[in-house]
Structure 1
Amino acid sequence: MLIFKHLLTPFYPCQLCGVDSQQQHSLCGDCWQQLPWLKNHVQRQERQIQVACHYDYPIDRIIQKFKYEQQLHFQDLLAGSLIALRLPKVQAIVPMPISHERLAQRGYNQALVIGKIVARHLNIPIWQPVSRHDLHAQKGLSRLERMQNIQSQFQIKPQLKLRYRRVLIIDDVVTTGSSINALSLQLEQLGCQKIYAACIASAEH
């Protein structure tokens, strides 16, 4: 009877090793355990950001494939790394916005794709109150000018009615933290009192 039951159970191979069956967010148990976990906070721009992994192999390559090569089958794995964190209790998820030009090139906002999975898991809505414009050339600018340049990308959408006080920003990789800081400043203007941030990976800055 056990053998017969096993034969009826579909085999979904691990997305990394392809040998063992999926157990955790499309990975087998061993591959899941061997991800370059960090599961800690990093401080960028005087803001605490929860981070799931170091930006090391294989998570770095997975993010690149997901972000630039339209390999969307990695979305459950990447969202699962965030779900593995002790995420704060919030009212809404705010995915890091991308510009219309970047969206047209890529076809999707990777932070929104991941954010939707996390939002379903937490049973809270997605909130997108801020739009993002193309970044002007950074060459030749001082550090302060670069920060001001990034901040100028983010603008509150007009005629906004929905408001939340406790929100969680979701992004894929944090380096300097400038984008998270710029988005947070806009959310503060909207009356957000608690703004948290969580990223899949942290890269050296």
Structure 2
Amino acid sequence: MPMFDYFKATLQQLGQKILPCRLCESSPRLKHYVLCKSCWQQLPWLKQPINRHELQIMAACYYHYPIDRILQQFKYEQKLHHQPLLDQLLAQIKHPKVQAIVPMPISDTRLIERGYNQSLLLAQQLAKKLNVPIWQPIHRLEQHSQKGLNRFERIQGIEQQFVVLEKPKIRYRKVLIIDDVVTTGSSIYALHQALQLLGCQQIYACCIAAVTDKVSKPVNNLDTTA
């Protein structure tokens, strides 16, 4: 009998329940996490800031396997069971003391297509952990294709997507932007600019994963469909 099955059977006899790792499904989870020790250690950890448009953005992981696949499923395939793991990844970042959390907004069209804003879901859990409110003073207009545009035109086009529809009754000076994935950082830069117009003086940003040139080794035998 495999060791994991032996311990599982023993604990069941004692009336206790043991849960398998969400990725490999063959090892017991760590006490406070949804993964086993091996899978947790082999994630493509980054846990340091990246620079985009002269802004520092804290990232928990590199955008590599299995995090890339997990985020794709969470964002586009309604696989919301991945959220506990993503919440735990976000919690590994040392967050600054802020007055509110600002999730990356999405357009109404994207919201209807997906049924939810993935960044808002992540922000809600972190807000509970940090005991601060969610603040959404910025609305995002329809997102158009950026194909064929140069870097300046892309940034300008994205900046025009973020607008303040109504002057918020409450304003915060120290805020934290939450996004799921950062590539060029143009969206965070545009949101940063809009928040500055509202009087925010200290604006931080963090994400689950960042797209970089780093090449990481995949974890063997992982099933991200759990």
Normalised-by-shorter TM-score class = over 0.9
Bigger Cα Rg: 2
Q: Secondary structure at the match of 2:145?
A: coil
In 1, Cα distance between equivalents of 2:35 and 2:165: 38
1:7 pairs, out of 9, 14, 23, with 14
Does the 8 Å CA contact 1:76/1:117 hold for their aligned counterparts?
no
Give the alignment of 1:73-152 within 5 angstroms.
73-152=81-160
1:183 and 1:57 map into 2 onto residues whose CA distance is 28
CA contact (8 A) 2:181 2:208 kept: yes
5+ residue gaps, structure 1, are: none
Q: Residue 147 and residue 6 in structure 1: after superposition, are their counterparts in 2 closer, same or farther (change >3 A)?
A: farther
- The offset of 1:21, in angstroms, is 2.4
Partners of 1:139 and 1:57 lie apart in 2 by 27
Q: Structure 1 residue 139: deviation in Å?
A: 2.7
Q: Supply the AA of the counterpart residue of 1:88.
A: P
User: 1:1-205 to 2 correspondence within 5 Å?
Assistant: 7-23=14-30, 24-204=32-212
Distance in structure 2 (CA, Å) of the matches to 1:6 and 1:97:
49
Query: 1-side partners of 2:12 and 2:147: how far apart?
Result: 62
Q: TM-score normalised to the size of structure 1? A: 0.94
The alignment-based identity, stated in percent, is 56
Name the aligned partner's letter for residue 160 of structure 1: P
Distance in 1, matches of 2:11 and 2:196, equals 58
| Partner AA of 1:18 in structure 2 | E
Deviations 1:147-200, CA, capped at 9 Å, x for gaps: 110000001130411111111101011111000000000111111111000011
Q: Distance in 1 between matches of 2:51 and 2:197?
A: 22
CA distance in 2, matches of 1:5, 1:163: 52
Aligned length: 203
Distance 1:201 1:74 in 2: 14
The runs of 5 or more residues in structure 2 that have no matched partner are 1-9, 214-226
- After the TM superposition, which parts of structure 1 deviate over 6 Å for at least 4 consecutive aligned residues? none
